[in-house]
A and B are shown apart, each in its own frame.
Chain A
Amino acid sequence: MAACTRLPLLFPKSLPAFRNKKLVHTEAAVSETAYPANVASLTAKSKSARRRQVEEQVKKITASTVQEKLSLLTRIQHKKFVIHPQTFARNADKWYQHFTKTAFVPGLPDRFTLTPEETGGEDSSGSAAGQTSVPGIGDDVFADIRTLVTRVILQEHWHLKKRRPFLYRKQEQLVGPVLRSLASGLTYSLVKYNPLLLLCSLDIDPKVHFYWRRGERIIPKGHRKGRLEPTRFQIDDQPNSQIRITQQLPQFVPLEASYTAEVPEITLAPNVMPLFRRQYDNNIFTGSKLPDPACYGHTQFHLVPDRYHRDRMARQKQSDQVEVFLRANGLASLFAWTGAQAMYQGFWNNEDVTRPFVSQAVITDGQFFSFFCYQLNTLALSVEADANNPRKNLLWGTESLRLYESVQDGEVVGLNDGVIKLLIQFLMNQP
């Protein structure tokens, strides 16, 4: 009955507020009593569990030291495409550009002046002979370096008596020592003018390794059929010599400038190139181990082997592939080197580089020199990381320039000063 209830006779329209005092101050407390966060399982056989496993792995890698990062990223072996920087494949440079997300810019960055006297060795005026547009180098130093170059070339080609080289060993016997002594001679002479070279490390026959993932494919056959698999690549390179320094070289071009560059897209599978897959240890190596203070790269020197010498290519009517080969070589070697340098600093696929890494390379077959500059703007090359990544890596490269015509009667004929100037400019590059 109505009289038995505790309600008042006049039932109010709205009950007075704060009736139940228990609820007033405990609202904040309810949100503080933390129930565990509502996340997907870690061990279930589901897509969300797999996603969470990947996230946990990424967090674990991000939180570890550089040494552990490298070992975690290269731990598990899978079948991967092995990219050889010096390759017989045709149009290799377009493929390599796609694999490494690199845009090719003909010519060199503005820092290096390519004067029009490249093609003519002893050109006109006395002003040309004495003029060195290399900042910080006097004429007498340039003359010294010129004599050094002639001395180095003559030593191997004229003074030393060498036996007839074996088949396909001519470059190794004749030009290898030239390049090595050239690299060391130039480094020692320019130490006074480039303080970086004082603390540099000149490696002879170093090994450079890099491992990365780019692109995906659906596995066509096998017990993993139908699943997505990232395509993995490995570069194992052995330049003739390289210079490693303790400070990083300054960038050629700001990061944002690479957003507009064009990278060729290739939708075909890499094995059509032809490129072959193997499984072995994934290595990432700049030329020395992690604790080395000289962890940044300066210049690499590469030798063109007999198999890809331009005379042999001309005999096989493939002269157009000579430049392609040089570009592919420069691209792959420099990408591997700069990538390894960046990984030594702790950057990897999901943690992209905050500053561009820069390196240079000189590729030669004794007579013809090509100069390459590489700027690594991004390491995020796998499918997930590359989805919204506007950055691209940049490669500048020249055509091959002739250093000298020939060696006759103890004299080097037709020495090109422009090439020597470029070499000096390359080695003088400092922040």
Chain B
Amino acid sequence: MPVTRLLYPLYQLGNPQLRIFRPNWFLTLVRPGKEQPLDTAQFRIPMEMTKCDVKNYLEKIYNVPVGAVRTRIQFGSNKKRNHLNQKVKQPDYKVAYVQLAQGQTFTFPDIIPDKERAPTEGSMEEMQEKFMKDEKQRQKLDPRRGGVTEWFGL
């Protein structure tokens, strides 16, 4: 049953349709672990949903043209143990691979970009980094010696 149990007034032909369906299901769009084709999007869906439900959900609520849906259930591991040596179960979840129709493509966006490690001018970090670099430079031997140590020679 898609919706939690509600009682509606009896419908007779010609009555206005009073029901508003708001499904209690929520899809999570995830980044695929293994590389998927360009027209495929990967979702984590509630266990009770089926392929047809996913198709209708995306088409009716989000106006996404759906070509094909394939689902699988991922077993959450029951192997780890806590400090009391009890087995700790990770929850199972259902994954849906949705292939989009009409030649549309989708790639999971890069939400967290890499931070540029350039310290600001005049700050403590910059002075510290410069100091460390100079120290390391002084530790290194003369490159003209070709790796030979300074124990020998004058």
Contacts and interface: CB of A to CB of B under 8 A. Distances in A.
Contacts of B39: 90-91
Interface string A37-71: 00000000000000000000000000000000000
A269 B34 contact: yes
A268 B36 contact: yes
Q: Is the interface of B mostly helix, strand, loop or mixed?
A: loop
Interface residues of A, number: 13
B123 interface: no
A90 B35 contact: no
A294 B40 CA distance: 45
Nearest to A88: B68
A268 B70 CA distance: 18
Contacts of B40: 272
Interface string B53-74: 0000000000001011010000
B69 to A, nearest CB: 11
Interface residues of B, number: 14
Contacts of A318: 67, 101
Contacts of B36: 268, 272
B101 A272 contact: no
Interface in A263-280: 268-269, 272-274
A90 B102 contact: no
Most chain B CB within a 10 A radius of its CB, from A89, A317, A321: A317
A281 interface: no
Interface in B93-126: 99, 101-103
Interface string B24-57: 0000000000111101100000000000000000
Given A90-B68, A91-B39, A274-B70, A317 B34 contact: no
Q: Is the interface of A mostly helix, strand, loop or mixed?
A: loop
Interface string A81-118: 00000001111000000000000000000000000000
A90 B34 contact: no
A320 interface: yes
A90 B39 CA distance: 10
A90 B102 CA distance: 11
B35 A268 contact: yes
Contacts of B67: 90, 318, 321
A273 B35 CA distance: 11
A212 B99 CA distance: 29
Interface string B77-107: 0000000000000000000000101110000
B37 A272 contact: yes
Given A317-B101, A320-B102, A272 B68 contact: no
A91 B65 CA distance: 16
B2 to A, nearest CB: 21
Contacts of A317: 65, 101
A273 B37 CA distance: 8
B37 A268 contact: yes
7 contacts: A88-B68, A90-B99, A91-B37, A272-B35, A272-B37, A274-B70, A320-B102
Interface of B: 34-37, 39-40, 65, 67-68, 70, 99, 101-103
Interface of A: 88-91, 268-269, 272-274, 317-318, 320-321
